[in-house]
Structure formats: structure tokens, C-alpha cells
Amino acid sequence: MSSDLAPRKGSAAPAVADGDNRYKAVQAKLDKLGKTMDDATLELEGLRRSMQANARHTDGVATDIENADLDPKFVGLTANVASALGGAAREVRTLSDTAQETADLTHDARRTHSTLYGALDDIRSNRREKTPRPGFFSR
């Protein structure tokens, strides 16, 4: 079995880490991060399934070479590879679960940010008069 992994195109960072903390910019960054983490979860799940399939296939190969009376050294080595692939697949599952949790928390943060600051942004965006930036009065 082979892997279909390929390098991603574009930047490795899902959102630019700049000092733009305006409401719409924060919403866009959270949205992009959430979508990127959702995509990562799907890709990791695909990787896990592929690794698990490779582990099963390799285990079958170990059985086949044992049945063919090949040197036990090769049977053991092949069984070790199958075991390592299975262990790696379990760790990828953990990573996938963590990516999904991060995506969920990012979506929650975006909703909370919208609830807390969305109305204020509407007011500030629709006024003709210039208003102070958030935090101006706390200095």
C-alpha cells in the first residue's frame, strides 16, 4: 500500500499573525483557523486509516512469510513493522482528536467573540463620527 501524502500548497500558517485586532479581522482569522483545523482533522483521519490498513497488510505479509518457512528473523522484523504502524496509527488518532477539539474551541471562540463584540462593531461601523479604539478609555 502507498501513501497519498503530499506537501500543502501555500503558507503553513492558517492566518497571518499580525497586530490587526479589529472585529472583522479577528472574525476572519478565527474562521480561517477553524476551517484549517477541520481540514487537518479530515486529513489526519485519512492518514490514520491508511496507516492502519498498512499495518494490517504488513501483518498479513508477516504471516505469509512465516507460512513460507522463511528465516524467522524476517518474520519478526516484518511483525515489528506491523506493530509500529499500528502504534503510529493510534498516535495519529490522538493527534486527530486534538485537532478536532482545537477546531471546536476555535468555532466556539468565534461565536463568543461575535456575541460579545458584534453589536459594538455594528454601531462603530455604521456611525459617521469617528469613535475611539477599544481600550482607549482604560489607559
Given a contact cutoff of 8 angstroms between Cβ atoms, the answer to whether 74 and 65 are in contact is yes
Task: Specify the range with the lowest mean pLDDT, choosing from 4-8, 38-42, 49-53, 81-85.
Answer: 4-8
According to the model, what pLDDT value does residue 83 have? Answer: 97
Residue type, 106: T
| Least confident window among 59-68, 95-104, 129-138 | 129-138
Q: What is the per-residue pLDDT for 123?
A: 85
Domain locations along the chain: 23-126
Would you give the end-to-end CA distance of the chain in angstroms?
A: 62
CA atoms within 13 A on the CB side of 25: 7
In whole angstroms, what is the distance from residue 60 CA to residue 62 CA? 5
Mean pLDDT for the chain? Answer: 89
Distance, in Å, from the CA atom of 135 to the CA atom of 2, rounded to the nearest integer, reads 54
Question: Residue 40's closest CA among 99, 117, 121?
Answer: 99
Neighbour tally for 22: CB within 10 Å: 14
Q: What is the mean pLDDT of residues 99-108?
A: 97
Evaluate whether 86 touches 54 at the Cβ level (below 8 Å).
no
> Closest Cα partner for 25 from 137, 133, 103, 139?
133
